[in-house]
Amino acid sequence: MTPGGHLMLAFQVGDQPRRLDRPLGHPVSLDFQRRRSEDMTGLLSAAGFALVSRTVREPDEELEERSAQAFLIARKPA
Protein backbone atom coordinates (compact mmCIF):
# COMPACT_ATOMS: atom_id res chain seq x y z
CA MET A 1 0.00 0.00 0.00
CA THR A 2 1.20 3.50 -0.81
CA PRO A 3 2.36 5.48 2.24
CA GLY A 4 -0.32 8.00 3.20
CA GLY A 5 -3.07 5.80 1.73
CA HIS A 6 -6.19 4.70 3.59
CA LEU A 7 -7.64 1.24 4.12
CA MET A 8 -11.22 0.37 5.03
CA LEU A 9 -11.86 -3.06 6.49
CA ALA A 10 -15.38 -4.37 7.17
CA PHE A 11 -16.19 -7.70 8.80
CA GLN A 12 -18.58 -9.61 11.06
CA VAL A 13 -17.66 -9.46 14.74
CA GLY A 14 -17.39 -12.61 16.82
CA ASP A 15 -15.23 -15.41 18.13
CA GLN A 16 -16.90 -18.45 16.60
CA PRO A 17 -17.04 -19.49 12.93
CA ARG A 18 -20.43 -20.02 11.29
CA ARG A 19 -21.29 -22.55 8.59
CA LEU A 20 -24.18 -22.38 6.16
CA ASP A 21 -25.13 -25.52 4.23
CA ARG A 22 -28.07 -24.18 2.24
CA PRO A 23 -27.97 -20.37 1.99
CA LEU A 24 -30.86 -19.09 -0.11
CA GLY A 25 -31.92 -22.71 -0.71
CA HIS A 26 -28.79 -23.74 -2.61
CA PRO A 27 -26.60 -26.66 -1.42
CA VAL A 28 -23.15 -25.23 -0.67
CA SER A 29 -20.66 -25.24 2.17
CA LEU A 30 -20.05 -21.65 3.22
CA ASP A 31 -17.89 -20.85 6.25
CA PHE A 32 -17.69 -17.43 7.91
CA GLN A 33 -14.67 -16.61 10.06
CA ARG A 34 -15.68 -13.82 12.41
CA ARG A 35 -13.10 -11.59 14.07
CA ARG A 36 -12.91 -9.28 17.07
CA SER A 37 -12.32 -5.62 16.23
CA GLU A 38 -9.60 -5.38 18.91
CA ASP A 39 -7.69 -8.26 17.32
CA MET A 40 -7.93 -6.75 13.83
CA THR A 41 -6.84 -3.34 15.15
CA GLY A 42 -3.77 -5.01 16.68
CA LEU A 43 -2.92 -6.72 13.39
CA LEU A 44 -3.24 -3.44 11.50
CA SER A 45 -0.97 -1.73 14.03
CA ALA A 46 1.61 -4.52 13.74
CA ALA A 47 1.56 -4.03 9.94
CA GLY A 48 2.37 -0.33 10.34
CA PHE A 49 -1.12 1.17 10.02
CA ALA A 50 -2.51 3.89 12.28
CA LEU A 51 -6.17 3.48 13.23
CA VAL A 52 -8.29 6.45 12.10
CA SER A 53 -11.77 5.16 12.95
CA ARG A 54 -13.41 2.09 14.49
CA THR A 55 -17.19 1.64 14.33
CA VAL A 56 -19.03 -1.44 15.57
CA ARG A 57 -22.71 -1.72 14.69
CA GLU A 58 -25.05 -4.10 16.46
CA PRO A 59 -27.01 -6.64 14.35
CA ASP A 60 -29.95 -5.23 12.40
CA GLU A 61 -33.02 -7.39 13.05
CA GLU A 62 -34.77 -6.06 9.95
CA LEU A 63 -31.90 -7.44 7.84
CA GLU A 64 -31.91 -10.71 9.84
CA GLU A 65 -28.30 -10.16 10.88
CA ARG A 66 -27.01 -12.39 13.67
CA SER A 67 -23.73 -10.71 14.46
CA ALA A 68 -22.37 -7.21 14.88
CA GLN A 69 -20.54 -5.53 12.00
CA ALA A 70 -17.20 -3.74 12.39
CA PHE A 71 -15.76 -1.04 10.13
CA LEU A 72 -12.13 0.00 10.56
CA ILE A 73 -10.41 2.81 8.72
CA ALA A 74 -6.63 2.89 8.99
CA ARG A 75 -3.86 4.92 7.38
CA LYS A 76 -0.38 3.94 6.35
CA PRO A 77 1.82 6.83 7.57
CA ALA A 78 3.79 8.64 4.86
In angstroms, the CA 67 to CA 32 distance is: 11
Q: Could you tell me the pTM of the whole model?
A: 0.79
Element (H, E) at 56: strand 50-57
The predicted pLDDT at position 64 comes to: 82
* pLDDT per residue as tens digits for the range 31-65: 888 999 999 999 999 999 999 999 999 998 888 88
In angstroms, the CA 32 to CA 11 distance is: 10
> Does 74 have pLDDT greater than 90?
yes
User: Taking all residues of the chain, what is their mean pLDDT, rounded to a whole number?
Assistant: 90
The predicted pLDDT at position 50 comes to: 95
Q: What is the CA radius of gyration of the chain?
A: 15
